[in-house]
Amino acid sequence: MASLSRDDVAHVAHLARLGLTADELGRLEGELNHILDQYSRLTELDTDAIAPTAQTIELENILRDDVVRPSLPQAAALANAAATSDGFIVVSAILTGGD
Amino acid sequence: MGSDPAGLNRRPGHELAAGLRAGDFSSLELTDVHLAAAERDNRGLHAWLTIDAEGARAQAAAADAALVAARRDGPVAVAALPPLHGLPVALKDLVSVEGGQCTAGSRILEGYRSPYDAHITERLRTAGAVILGKTNMDEFAMGSSTEHSAYGPTSNPWDLDRVPGGSSGGSAVAVAAFHAPFGIGTDTGGSIRQPAALCGIVGMKPTYGRVSRYGIVAFASSLDQVGPFARDSRDAATLLHAVAGRDERDSTSAPVPVPDRLLALAASDDAAAGLLRGKRLGLPREYFVAGMEPGVEARVREAVAALEAAGAVVEEVSLPHTDYGLATYYIVAPAEASANLARYDGIRYGPGMRDGDTLANVLATRGRGFGAEVKRRIMLGTYALSAGYYDAFYLKAQKVRTLIKADFDRLWADGFDALVAPTSPTVAFRFGARLADPVSMYLSDACTLPVNMAGLPGVSIPCGLSEGMPVGLQLIGAPWTEAELFELARGYEALTADAAWRTVEPTDLARAGDPDGPTPMDRAAALAGAA
């Protein structure tokens, strides 16, 4: 199966939004390739005609009644945020440049 | 300090329930005995991340007040009290308790306070249970030793230099060490059954969908289930009954009735053992894996012989795709974890980095907040789901999952009542023994994770000792057969009620209470230094 280069590991880390150190990237390159080697066993199996299983209990869609119910109060929902203002969570600006 | 001359904390929950109703002691008294044991041992065992003595005592006092009122109303009112009324329970630190911490063993949730109760917390409160605190665990339930907790490891009370298993190691130790008669864990690939086996107690992973996961920190959503720990099968079944059932806030919790048979396991050994007669049990040959310790295999085969002697019919069977379980699991679980753990950005909750722009802050928050094992799994899962690899990894694994499930389905269609197997191929291992090689750690769950892949119930029960350490026997059933599994487990308990090994208490427990002794972290460091 596939094997991961150091650049691949850095790319996946970015996709996963993990800020990793150079040491961590190096270690993960070895570990991930070792684990991916174990995955290669699965290619032994012919699964062309097999349907995938995403969940095991075969529930049909269950719909709840469409009624208004109390939800978490705003103060409780915001209580764990580091910075809030007027009922909003404060984050750094996403768009920069240009006034 | 914390002396318990009555030995209340060594008695099973069903005896404590009877004593409470008879007025032999109060919930406050037995809560204090359990709190004292937990506090005394926590330096040496580190089973608990937080012990809420004040909250527990308030809940116990309320339970006592309800008892007094029920007694005033007469025997019918006393009998109507729920079975867990006034009894202590340990919660894994990924179960939300309003206003309390819920770290999931991670730095990224340090200081977070749950804004609401999990469904099972509500159910336990309704049942009158007393929540003693929150227990240690592998970070985000990823691990088989509790060594991946960001808050340090937990020791096994049978040998303080060894792991308790994981990921629910703290709850397993709390129950094994007599800090609580009841404990809650979660099991994604073996995280209840394997620590139950390694600590010598009962632990069940129920059928996928049996227990609501509302308010439980998610790891892998097609696999995670909540389940009970106890020191005997009657108590474990009682706890499952209290928390199981449909909850409309978890769309995967199934509208399947919870059988009251769970509350009616035979008290008499003769009646319990009699139920084994004629039961058809499969012994899957693939579960006697390479690397299995001879002592573990011997105990499991002895247990099988005892079941046969009691009239059960045991046949060797094959689950031919077992060997593919590990690879399948380590694609599906990390893939789902990478999606579930995307939410930890340090913005809405949890300690976040705030020095840079939004993206830099998220990268730094997650880079510092997650431990090595969690990062490994997020990386694996992100890769397995990424463009160009989804079909080769995730879709392929989901197809193999179909084959693994079909292996089991064939046996249920053939009329087997249950399967009997080892829970873990080895007894508890020493700190550090499997940390250097993630794949060796993953092999700890070879006998348990196919059960999660297939969504089935499985229970681990003690079946003796090997080299002085507990061995677990696993019983696996068709969907929704938890009561039948517990009846088999209770039957085996009855057969072995007089076995010498049942009288052995965790052999290193006395040392755990040494106020000047080494902590599990000290022990792990010493073993790492000696290696």
Interface predicted TM-score (ipTM): 0.93
Amino acid at B121: T
Are the C-beta atoms of B258 and A74 separated by less than 8 Å?
Answer: no
Are the C-beta atoms of B105 and B93 separated by less than 8 Å?
Answer: yes
Q: What is the C-alpha radius of gyration for chain A, rounded to an integer number of angstroms?
A: 23
For residue B342, the distance in angstroms to the closest alpha carbon of chain A comes to 8
Token couple for B498: 């007089």
* pLDDT band with cut points at 50, 70 and 90 for residue A2: low
For residue A71, the distance in angstroms to the closest alpha carbon of chain B comes to 11
Q: Which residues contact B279 (CB under 8 A, 6 or more apart)?
A: B307, B311, B312, B313, B417, B418, B488
- Integer Cα distance of B349 and B116 in angstroms: 14
**Span B196-205, pLDDT tens digits:** 999 999 999 9
pLDDT at residue number B1? 35
- Helices (H), ranges, B233-324: 233-243, 269-274, 294-309
Residue B37 reports pLDDT greater than 90: yes
Q: Are strands B130-135 and B88-92 parallel, antiparallel or unpaired?
A: parallel
pLDDT at residue number A1? 52
Residue B4 reports pLDDT greater than 50: no
What's the length of chain A?
99
Q: Are strands B88-92 and B182-187 parallel, antiparallel or unpaired?
A: parallel
Q: Which residue of chain A is at minimal alpha-carbon distance from B99? A: A76
Q: Is residue A73 part of a domain?
A: no
Q: Is B92 a known active-site residue?
A: yes
Q: Which of A35, A41, A64 is facing B380, going by the closest CB pair?
A: A35
Mutation for B interface: A57, A88, A95, most B CBs within 10 A:
A57
Asked if A62's CB is within 8 angstroms of B379's CB, the reply is no
What does the pLDDT average to over A49-75?
Answer: 88
Domain count along chain A: 1
Residues of B in contact with A64 (CB under 8 A): 248
Residue closest to B201 by CA, chosen among B164, B167, B159, B253: B164
Range of the domain at A16: 6-44
Number of C-beta neighbours around residue B166 at 10 A: 33
* pLDDT band with cut points at 50, 70 and 90 for residue B3: very low
pLDDT at residue number B331? 96
**Span A9-28, pLDDT tens digits:** 999 999 999 999 999 999 99
pLDDT at residue number B454? 97
Q: Is residue A49 part of a domain?
A: no
- Integer Cα distance of B367 and B494 in angstroms: 51
B376 interfaces chain A, CB cutoff of 8 Å: yes
CB environment B115-152: b (16+ within 10 A), e (fewer): bbbbbbbbbbbebbbbbbbbbbbbbbbbbbbbbbbbbb
Token couple for A25: 């990237």
pLDDT at residue number A60? 78
Percent of chain B at pLDDT exceeding 90: 93
Are the C-beta atoms of B493 and B232 separated by less than 8 Å?
Answer: yes
Residue B220 reports pLDDT greater than 90: yes
Residue closest to B231 by CA, chosen among B28, B426, B10: B10
DSSP state string for B331-395: HHHHHHHHHHGGG--SSSSS----SS-HHHHHHHHHHHHS-HHHHHHHHHHHHHHSTTTTIIIII
Which of A35-44, B45-54, B478-487 comes out lowest in average pLDDT? Answer: A35-44
* pLDDT band with cut points at 50, 70 and 90 for residue B531: low
What does pLDDT average to over chain B?
A: 96
Residue B336 reports pLDDT greater than 90: yes
pLDDT at residue number B423? 97
Kindly name the residue from B27, B155, B191, B444 that is annotated as catalytic.
B191
* pLDDT band with cut points at 50, 70 and 90 for residue B6: low
- Integer Cα distance of B182 and B243 in angstroms: 12
Are the C-beta atoms of B303 and B492 separated by less than 8 Å?
Answer: yes
Count Cβ atoms within 10 A of the Cβ of residue A5 and give its class: 0-12 exposed, 13-18 middle, 19 or more buried: exposed
- Integer Cα distance of B340 and B214 in angstroms: 14
Q: Is residue A29 part of a domain?
A: yes
B358 vs B319, higher pLDDT: B319
Mutation for A interface: B399, B405, B408, most A CBs within 10 A:
B399
Q: Which of A4, A21, A57 is facing B209, going by the closest CB pair?
A: A57
Kindly name the residue from B167, B168, B171, B212 that is annotated as catalytic.
B167
Q: Is B167 a known active-site residue?
A: yes
Q: Which residues contact B403 (CB under 8 A, 6 or more apart)?
A: A45, A47, A50, B321, B324
What's the length of chain B?
531
Asked if A62's CB is within 8 angstroms of B209's CB, the reply is no
What does the pLDDT average to over B29-36?
Answer: 97
CATH number, domain containing residue A39: 1.10.20
CATH (residue range B11-253+275-323+401-530): 3.90.1300.10
Per domain, the residue ranges of chain B are 11-253+275-323+401-530, 324-395
Are the C-beta atoms of B251 and B119 separated by less than 8 Å?
Answer: no
Q: Is B167 helix (H, G, I), strand (E, B) or coil?
A: coil
**Span B92-126, pLDDT tens digits:** 999 999 999 999 999 999 999 999 999 999 999 99
- Integer Cα distance of A50 and B129 in angstroms: 46
Q: Is residue A86 part of a domain?
A: no
- 34-73 in chain A: CB under 8 A from chain B: 34-35, 38-39, 41-43, 45, 47, 50-57, 59, 62, 64, 72
- Integer Cα distance of B527 and B513 in angstroms: 21
pLDDT at residue number B340? 98
Q: Are strands B225-230 and B469-476 parallel, antiparallel or unpaired?
A: unpaired
- Integer Cα distance of B227 and B182 in angstroms: 11
Asked if A13's CB is within 8 angstroms of B326's CB, the reply is no
pLDDT at residue number B5? 52
**Span B248-277, pLDDT tens digits:** 999 899 999 999 999 999 999 999 999 999
pLDDT at residue number B497? 97
What does the pLDDT average to over A55-71?
Answer: 84
Q: Is residue A72 part of a domain?
A: no
* pLDDT band with cut points at 50, 70 and 90 for residue B356: confident
pLDDT at residue number A97? 66
If you ran DSSP here, which 8-state letter would residue B114 be given? -
Are the C-beta atoms of B405 and A56 separated by less than 8 Å?
Answer: yes
Q: Is residue A27 part of a domain?
A: yes
Residue B442 reports pLDDT greater than 90: no
